[in-house]
Chains A and B, each alone.
Chain A
Amino acid sequence: MIEVEALTKRYGSTTAVDGLTFTARPGTVTGFLGPNGAGKSTTMRVVVGLERPTSGTATVDGRRYADLPAPLHAVGVMLDARSVHPGRTAYKHLLAMAQTHGLGRARVREVLAQTGLESAAHRRAGTFSLGMGQRLGIAGALLGDPATLVLDEPVNGLDPDGVLWVRRLVRELAAEGRTVLLSSHLMHELALCADRVVIIGRGRLLADASVQEVVDRSERAGTVRVRTSEPELLARELLAAGAQVTPQDGGVLHVRGASVDGVGTAARRCGATVLELGSESGSLEEAYLQLTGGVVEYRTAGTPGGAR
């Protein structure tokens, strides 16, 4: 269990994390979301004791990370994939990690097998591809068989096979009763493997809820999409019934404040021909973009020159 309370971290005049509070619970995959520079990595580094909070606390199982008697068994950490000396082989890197907690070579070979790195075990980490580096990072996190896992962008650079593997892995880890805190930029990936999401922007909490709750907050959620041959006629009818209507191209209307049944009845009433009708569900990606829209640190400018 990870508890972050009123956490603030400043570097000089820059505030990276600003009064952040959230909890990652056992048996749950907690997705950690936010634009670049929002403070995700900083928060994770404070949680695992690499950085000291300016104020507030971050605890694992009720203790400050630095006070954990056996950190490797309490928390499995994968921050930057480049947390390895490039001149060291994967095997020796994991062996040195294991030795700090008195684990044997057998356990190192186990996690190498589990992460599919056996054939690369005696290659120097500097020669690894991004995806192999990620696997090595995950191997290090699994090494101590920890009750809590902190994974920063674990699927970054993995091939589709690897992405699927990580998804199954974190689901299983949570199913075994472990706490998993995982950050990612891949929304649909998080939507598939996370139970809850914590969304931050500019160091502040924007949302802390279950994936479904966040998805339901997106503007499109709960709207009805209808395609008709007489959009103006139907729009008038729906407006009269008190719904909000947003006309789209191709005779499509987005209707808020009316059910699918209601729209179908309205169409029959006014004599408009319905070509397509269905309820819309939001997506995590949309909800995220709407939440963080105002707080993006590095915004993409329009296409240069606008000419194609």
Chain B
Amino acid sequence: MSAATTTPGGARAATAHPGPTVGRVVAAEWTKLVSLRSPWWTAAVTVAVAGVLTYLSAEASSGDPGFQPVDSLSTGLALAHLGPLVLGVLVGAGEFRTGASRTTFTLVPRRWPVLAAQVLVMAAFALGTAVLATAASVLGILPAAASRGIAVDLTSGDTPGLVLGMVLFLVALALLGLALGALLRRTVPALVTALLVVLILPVVLMTAGDPLAGGADPASAGLAEAVPSTTVAGTLAVLSPGGAAQLMTTSPSAGPMPGAPDLGPVGGGLVLAAWVLVVLVPAAVRLRTRDVR
């Protein structure tokens, strides 16, 4: 403990341009992200869940007569995608919840570069996670494929597109979570909103778009046989963030969901990207115009 200080300007002389640049803010945000434990935990769980669940699912369906290992490839993501989504929310809202925003925005008072850097950094981290999770999914189908003597070829047909779709799906959900966290600034409301639009809303809309006979429980209603025509609710379902996201993990040739127009994986990806922007823009406006508490 010493009361000595350097002479004023000592630290300043080190650099030519002293202020925050985009590159510096990105470096700072990267340090902030990877210095927390939650991103690493979430990434590890995401990869593990993707691999294990895909393995179990492929094993379960390997007895079916028309078994195609690649069809099971994205099954693990049905649960694993919660990881990037939750991570995005935790990082986006965590900044404000913990008060770290006071430090961040006194350093970068223009504020927008911080949000841009957070998006970039989260996309990069989620990309790494997504690649690993997709690789784990590929590993997950190998035992089932081997047991049936089917070679897994990732380079032909719809498969490259599917693999790419799976990676982008996870990245996009991380960004959606981040945007919701940055907009709402509190963990619980942001998480509830994220779960609502990604998980619950598509289920509700598909229940409406595709009523199945027998009055079964609504949770499984979205999985019934295809109804040929499109319905209002079915259209809304694929336009919801969760429904659009699910399209990204299907093959282009899989055809539309029941009662929904056929947007395909690319269309689904564009719809989800639009949703990310729709949430990011008000988050940016709120950041710029409102006080940081």
Which B residues are CB-close (under 8 A) to A75?
Answer: 106
Question: Please, which residues of chain A bring their CB within 8 A of the CB of B151?
Answer: none
Q: Is B214 an interface residue (CB 8 A)?
A: no
Nearest CB on B from A143, distance (A) = 8
Contact B94 A85 (CB under 8 A): yes
Binds B, one of A108-116, A229-237, A297-305: A108-116
Instruction: Report which of A96, A97, A142 forms a contact with B5, defined as CB distance below 8 A.
Output: A142
Distance, CA A112 to CA B137, complexed state (A) = 45
Q: Is the CB of B110 within 8 A of A66?
A: yes
For chain B, residues 1 to 30, give those with C-beta under 8 angstroms from any C-beta of chain A. Answer: 1-12, 14-15, 17-21, 24-25, 27-29
In the complex, whether A160 has a CB less than 8 A from a CB of chain B is no
Q: Which residues of A contact B98 (CB under 8 A)?
A: 82, 84-86
- A93 CA to B107 CA in the complex, in Å? 13
Q: Mark B27-46, 1 if CB is under 8 A from A, else 0.
A: 11101100111100000000
**Interface residues in B, total, Cβ within 8 A:** 47
Interface of B is mostly: loop
Q: Across the interface, which residues of A come within 8 angstroms of B14, CB to CB?
A: 102-104, 107
Tell whether, in the assembled complex, residue B109 and residue A85 are in contact, meaning their CB atoms are under 8 Å apart: no
Given A85-B94, A87-B36, A110-B6, do A100 and B109 touch, yes or no (CB 8 Å)?
no
Cross-chain contact B3 with A169 (CB below 8 angstroms): yes
Q: Are A99 and B24 interface neighbours, CB within 8 A?
A: yes
Total residues of chain A contacting the partner, CB 8 A: 58
A80–B1 Cα distance when bound, in Å, is: 22
Shortest Cβ distance from B194 into chain A, in angstroms? 20
Return A282 CB to nearest CB of chain B, in Å. Answer: 30
Q: Which residues of B contact A142 (CB under 8 A)?
A: 5
Task: Report the bound CA distance from A92 to B30 in whole Å.
Answer: 11
Within 8 A of A (CB), among B84-133: 94-95, 98-103, 105-110
A88 touches which of B18, B35, B109, B292 (Cβ 8 Å): B35
- Asked whether A101 lies within 8 Å of B35 as measured between CB atoms, the reply is no
Closest residue of chain A to B37 (Cβ to Cβ) is: A87
In the complex the two chains form, what is the Cα distance from A48 to B108 in whole Å? 11
Asked if B4 and A114 make an inter-chain contact with CB atoms under 8 angstroms apart, the answer reads: yes
Cβ-based interface call for A50 (8 A): yes
Q: Does A77 contact B (CB under 8 A)?
A: yes
Count contacts between A and B, CB distance < 8 Å.
148
Q: Please name the residue on chain B nearest to A178 by beta carbon.
A: B8
- Does A278 touch B at the CB level, under 8 Å? no
Kindly state the separation between the CA atoms of A79 and B32 in the bound complex, as whole angstroms: 20
Q: Is A217 an interface residue (CB 8 A)?
A: no
Are the CB atoms of B4 and A51 closer together than 8 Å? no
Cβ-closest chain A residue relative to B94:
A85
Residues A145 and B11 in contact, CB atoms below 8 Å apart: yes
Which residue of chain A is the closest to B25 with respect to CB atoms? A100
A107, closest chain B residue (CB): B11
Smallest CB–CB gap between B159 and chain A, Å? 39
Measured CA separation A57–B17 after assembly (Å): 27
B19 lies within 8 A of A92 (CB):
no
Known contacts: A80-B102, A87-B37, A140-B103. The answer to whether A172 contacts B3 by CB under 8 A is: yes
Whether B217 is near chain A, meaning CB under 8 Å from some CB there, is no
| Given A83-B102, A100-B25, A102-B18: A145 and B35 interface contact (C-beta under 8 Å) | no
Residue of A48, A68, A99 touching B27 (CB-CB under 8 A): A99
Query: Are A101 and B24 interface neighbours, CB within 8 A?
Result: yes
Complex formed: what's the CA distance from A25 to B108 in Å? Answer: 24
Is B5 touching A114 in the complex (CB atoms < 8 A)? yes
Most buried by B among A71, A82, A165: A71
Contacts beyond the supplied A84-B99, A102-B24: 4 A-B pairs with Cβ under 8 Å: A65-B109, A71-B108, A103-B11, A176-B8
What would be 19 A-B contacts, judged by CB atoms less than 8 Å apart? Answer: A50-B105, A73-B11, A80-B99, A82-B98, A87-B38, A88-B36, A92-B32, A92-B35, A97-B107, A99-B31, A100-B108, A101-B20, A102-B15, A102-B21, A161-B1, A173-B5, A176-B5, A177-B8, A178-B8
Residues of A within 8 A of B (CB): 45, 48-52, 65-66, 68-73, 75, 77, 79-80, 82-89, 92-93, 95-97, 99-104, 107, 110, 113-116, 140, 142-145, 147, 161, 165, 168-169, 172-173, 176-178
